[in-house]
């Protein structure tokens, strides 16, 4: 039974609050603040006591009730908690994700979790899309950010994800930044252009830029991964020589050990001579506009940064894309290329592969030349000298169930009702069960191949 009372310190004072004491559903004594009005306090006490009874009788689910209360909490409080949850990721990821979520929340005027719905989110993103602030791919990234927030809030902070079923856009219909790999002679010109330029770009002189390009191309490492390399990252005397990318610098947050090309090993022995063991090989590379370096060095030798198909050859394309493409051009299997690229899915590796019509033509040219027997069917004629009708599917044999299954036998006819005969046969047909003799090349295992050229006869 709930009771109401006033504290001794409030005795004799006017307009002081009443207090309520009751037992909750777990049997624990609880105290709650009432009102200055006694009747209102008694009503609240009765409500608290009734709710405790319903919880005790399991007519109210405490989890759902807690989720209901959480939905009324300020959305900013949820965002702060989610930002703390993301701290295990890189600072860049946390900053980008939270900025995108807050952009949607602020533009849609969301105050609590109950304000999050599909219509509000789509309205904000569609407005950004129409204003050409973002493309289809970035639209999906914004959506992914707030969707991940909602998934994190279920079930403790909300019962279900209100964005479940929201549609993504097809990013393939709006490619804003399509890359291309450099051809071998183009990459060679890029390196020569940098070394002979005599100018500094993004605080790197020509020789430094050439070394950065070569490292990117021969390892397939990303810009920030190359920026993290120190002399300690290399083991040039191992078998095979390796380079190690620490988890803090790797995009997938795992430590990677990759083999090195022998030519790069010989160059690294010279490059690392005067660099302290713990100092970066290319200082400040992570904060430099590497695309601008590549653009200026390419244009200096007459190679367009953006080709006629609107594809760019930025730093990531000139290095990593070219690295993966050349692996496959030179006979490396897709599985090996995937492992060297450190992709979790081979489909991602294929996105980095740029095989053009010239590469396809070279691949077709590697097919073995067709042997003369592949064209043997061209000499097949009817018994009376007419050419065979390739679309003929008629076969008549008087040999019964034990007849040889050959394309032709005595008694076979084409579409013009001419009797068929095989090249190299006698063409003689006796009465009754006599059949045309099967030529030798059928017994040599060439029957199947011949059918590819002279059609199906069954």
pLDDT tens string, the chain, 458 residues long: the values are 788 888 888 877 888 888 999 888 888 898 988 888 888 899 999 988 888 888 788 777 766 666 666 667 889 999 999 999 999 888 889 999 999 999 999 988 898 888 899 999 998 998 888 887 888 889 999 999 999 999 999 888 888 899 998 999 987 776 667 889 999 999 999 999 999 999 999 999 999 999 999 999 999 999 999 999 999 999 999 999 999 999 888 888 889 999 999 999 999 999 999 899 999 999 989 889 999 999 999 999 999 999 988 889 999 999 999 999 999 988 888 889 888 988 888 888 888 888 777 777 777 777 676 555 455 555 445 445 555 544 444 444 444 444 444 444 444 455 445 555 444 444 444 444 444 444 443 344 444 443 433 343 33
Q: What is the pLDDT of residue 62?
A: 67
Provide the pLDDT for residue 449. 40
Q: Is 395 helix (H, G, I), strand (E, B) or coil?
A: coil
Asked whether the beta carbons of 245 and 228 are under 8 A apart, the reply is yes
Helix H or strand E encompassing 258: strand 256-259
| β-sheet bridge partners, residue 74 | 112
Burial 418-443 (b: 16+ CB within 10 A, else e): bbbbbeeeebeeeeeeebbbbbebbe
**Ramachandran category for residue 456: left, alpha or beta (phi over 0 → left; psi -120 to 50 → alpha):** beta
CA gap 420, 37 in Å, rounded: 113
Whole-angstrom distance, CA of residue 372 vs CA of residue 375: 6
Q: Cα angle vertex 327, ends 326, 333, to 5°?
A: 140
**Residue 433 and residue 410 in contact, taking contact as beta carbons nearer than 8 Å:** no
In the prediction, which pLDDT does 358 show?
78
Dihedral of CA 279/281/284/286: which sign? negative
- In angstroms, the CA 453 to CA 376 distance is 8
| Cα–Cα distances in angstroms (integers) from residue 194 to residues 207, 226, 301, in the given order | 7, 18, 10
Tokens of 389: 């009708």
Tally of CA atoms within 13 A in the half-sphere of 455 that contains its CB: 14
The rounded distance, in Å, linking the Cα atoms of 99 and 104 is 9
Please state, in angstroms and rounded to a whole number, the distance separating the CA atoms of residues 82 and 104. 15
Q: How far apart are CA 183 and CA 166, in angstroms?
A: 41
Distances (CA, A) of 400 to 117, 372, 396: 75, 34, 10
The pTM of this model reads 0.56
Note the Cα 54 to chain centre separation in Å: 50
Block residue for tokens 């080709």: 307
- Residues in CB range of 320: below 8 A, 6 or more apart: 216, 220, 221, 222, 341, 352
């Amino acid at each position: 039974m709930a009771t109401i009372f006033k504290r001794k310190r409030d005795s004799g004072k006017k307009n002081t609050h009443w207090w309520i004491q009751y037992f909750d559903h777990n049997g624990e004594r609880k105290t709650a603040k009432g009102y200055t009005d006694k009747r209102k306090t008694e009503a609240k006490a009765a409500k608290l006591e009734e709710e405790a009874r319903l919880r005790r009788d399991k007519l109210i689910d405490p989890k759902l009730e807690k989720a209901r209360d959480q939905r009324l909490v300020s959305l900013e409080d949820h965002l702060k908690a989610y930002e703390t949850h993301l701290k295990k990721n890189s600072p860049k990821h946390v900053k980008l994700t939270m900025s995108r979520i807050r952009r949607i929340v602020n533009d849609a005027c969301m105050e609590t979790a109950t304000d999050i719905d599909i219509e509000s989110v789509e309205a904000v993103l569609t407005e950004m899309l129409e204003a050409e602030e973002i493309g289809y791919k970035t639209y999906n990234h914004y959506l992914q950010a707030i969707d991940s927030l909602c998934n994190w809030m279920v079930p403790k902070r909300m019962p279900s994800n209100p964005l479940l079923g929201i549609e993504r856009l097809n990013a393939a219909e709006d490619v804003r930044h399509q890359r291309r790999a450099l051809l071998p002679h183009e990459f060679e010109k890029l390196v020569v252009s940098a070394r002979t330029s005599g100018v500094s770009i993004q605080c790197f002189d020509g020789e430094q830029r050439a070394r950065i390009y070569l490292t990117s191309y021969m390892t397939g490492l990303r810009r920030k991964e190359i920026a993290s390399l120190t002399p300690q990252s290399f083991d040039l005397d191992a078998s095979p020589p390796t380079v190690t990318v620490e988890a803090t610098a790797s995009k997938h947050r795992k430590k990677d050990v990759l083999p090195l090309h022998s030519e790069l090993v010989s160059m690294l022995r010279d490059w690392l001579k005067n660099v302290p063991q713990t100092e970066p090989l290319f200082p400040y590379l992570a904060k430099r506009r590497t695309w601008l370096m590549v653009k200026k060095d390419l244009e200096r030798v007459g190679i367009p940064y953006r080709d006629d198909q609107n594809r760019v050859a930025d730093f990531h394309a000139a290095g990593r894309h070219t690295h993966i493409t050349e692996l496959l051009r030179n006979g490396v299997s897709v599985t090996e290329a995937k492992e060297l690229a450190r992709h979790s899915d081979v489909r991602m590796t294929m996105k980095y592969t740029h095989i053009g019509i010239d590469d396809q033509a070279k691949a077709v040219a590697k097919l073995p030349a067709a042997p003369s027997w592949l064209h043997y069917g061209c000499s097949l004629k009817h018994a009376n000298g007419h050419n065979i009708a390739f679309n003929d599917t008629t076969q008549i044999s008087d040999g019964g169930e034990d007849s040889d299954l050959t394309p032709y036998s005595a008694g076979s006819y084409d579409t013009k009702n001419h009797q068929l005969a095989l090249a190299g046969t006698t063409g003689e047909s006796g009465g009754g069960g006599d059949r045309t003799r099967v030529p030798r090349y059928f017994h040599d295992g060439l029957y199947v191949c011949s059918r590819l050229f002279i059609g199906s006869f069954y």
